[in-house]
Chain A
Amino acid sequence: MTLLETAAPAAAQTPDMWSQIFVFVLATFIGLGVIRRVSRLLHTPLMSLTNAISAIAVVGAILVAGPDYPIEIRILGTIAVFASMTNIVSGFLITERMLKMFKTEHKPGEGPRP
């Protein structure tokens, strides 16, 4: 773990604009490549899944709500934690609920699904 720990937080203090933009551009290419192959049948669940994933904003919200900041700032952060958490919970649950319904031929005698 010492190796990872020496990757000093000092580097995190000075934001590197270009490395961030690189990450953004490359991630967009990956996104376009992956999403283009998503089955058209699943566009509604895709949208609820990406909704849940982009609620990763919860990370930023925690970083604003959690530290020892002035109370007004923490209120903003806490509301943001609530909003993102709502998206995470409802996004993943409804995606799962919809995907469970997609199936091939219904076998007789199988009965309704749980």
Chain B
Amino acid sequence: MSYGLVQFAYLIATALFVFALHWMNAPATARRGVYAGVIGMSLAVVATWAQPEIVNHLWIVIAVILGFAVGIPLSRVPLTAVPQRTALSHAFGGLAAGLVGAGKYYLWFGDGSDQLTPFRTTAIIAEVLLGFLTFTGSLMAAGKLQEVKWIPQRPVTYPMQNVANIGLLLLAAALGVGVVLQPLAAWAPVALAAIIVLALLFGVLLIIPIGGADMPTVIAILNAYAGLAAVAMGFVLDNKLLITAGALDGSSGLILAVIMCKAMNRSFTNVLFGAFGQVQQAKAGGEERIYKAESIEGAGQVLEQANLVVIVPGYGMAVAQAQHKVRELYDQLRKRGVTVKFAIHPVAGRMPGHMNVLLAEADIPYTDLVEMDEINSDMPQVDVALVVGANDVVNPAARSDKGSPIYGMPIIDADRARTVFAIKRSKNPGFAGIDNELYFSDKTWMLFGDAKSVIGELVKQLSGGSGMH
């Protein structure tokens, strides 16, 4: 294929990628976006592969077949495992970028060619650094989300942690400057290898202090890094398709990270270097407080008589795989003429949009999934707020208690509903380790137990009682 033809194919692919993302603005057109993406990708791959300098087809064919062999099972994971899968794919993206950057450098170094201009070498360093730190960082995040045994779930902190991490990064950057100045020096390949090792190590250390509740932000940040690594690869290869697609991915990660940070009232640096888990120790202690528990029968009767019920789902719903039972409850209540809405907090779950996907899987129409900002003004008219496995996102301390670690975080105002039922697995505090004021409010009744079985019993109660009225 001629140079012009390849560039033309890349241009079409770029346009298709932009349209793909544009169509994601509404669920009705979103699937079109996937098809546009697939066509753009196929075009780009065929145009690249058909170039005359590509002569070793067998290896590429094998790699592609293996890619399908691993990719297809990865696309069929349960939806509760989607955060892990996403983190894993950021890891693959980072690995690909890092390997291509390293490969290109060693190739040009071996040639002794003048290809290693300062700009290109800088791009290679950026690509290798971002690629490999995204690789190990995302593997760690995936491991934490999957609850792999040898990766600690709780944030791990130690003295001088941030100083050590930043020192590591500065060391890698200093080596990078050396390579940019002297790309063909005898020591330069060794320096690049050292940068790779430092980047791999930095990725691990960056994620170790991060707890589960911060995962949505971290996944979004890693997404942005993977995109930027692709941009750097585009600079290295002088390939505008890579630059554009990487920039689209990078800006998506950035916007999602900003949304997540705003939804927790925290800054990037605070998420990455703040070690959220540490704050709770200061607050432990204080007086014993009493929960009011409610029986299934009582809760069922109150729900039946309500006009408007709002269900607030959280990560606990995902853990208990309760979304299908929630759907049955939704059906039972609607059969009785009760209006049921779902209040979705941006950081509920372990990745952006996690709750929406789980509820959509359970066949709940997306028109009944309402964002935090929209539902809060209606909360005083809500008869029952049913909290399913959510905790910090409904904690009124975020509004009122200046000493609380989550103070200032926007929350779903479940406490303004007339009655609150909260399903909770145990009497322990939530992921951020903070007592929830909501549970001790006058109008709150607790339903203790696994979310799935509690809702299952509620459904049984409602369906069993239907003939008697």
Contact = CB atoms under 8 A, between A and B. Distances in A.
Given A60-B100, A83-B93, A49 B24 contact: yes
Nearest to B249: A54
A58 B248 contact: no
Contacts of A39: 24-27, 30
A49 B256 CA distance: 14
Interface residues of B, number: 120
B34 interface: yes
Residue picked from B62, B66, B70, B356, most chain A C-beta under 10 Å: B356
Interface residues of A, number: 92
Given A15-B120, A80-B95, A68 B56 contact: yes
Given A80-B100, A103-B365, A27 B92 contact: no
B21 interface: yes
B54 A67 contact: yes
Contacts of B95: 79-80, 83
Contact of B356 (A30, A43, A50): A43
B234 interface: yes
B247 A28 contact: yes
A33 to B, nearest CB: 9
Enumerate the 4 nearest inter-chain pairs by beta-carbon distance, A residue then B residue, closest first. A85-B67, A4-B4, A89-B71, A43-B353
Given A50-B21, A79-B63, A89-B74, 20 more contacts: A3-B4, A5-B2, A9-B3, A15-B119, A28-B247, A30-B247, A48-B85, A51-B226, A53-B248, A55-B89, A56-B44, A57-B97, A57-B100, A81-B64, A82-B66, A85-B67, A86-B67, A93-B71, A99-B31, A104-B367
26 contacts: A1-B2, A3-B4, A7-B4, A35-B251, A39-B26, A44-B352, A50-B21, A50-B227, A50-B248, A51-B223, A53-B20, A54-B93, A54-B226, A54-B227, A57-B96, A57-B233, A60-B234, A62-B48, A76-B103, A79-B96, A80-B100, A87-B96, A97-B76, A102-B27, A102-B360, A104-B365
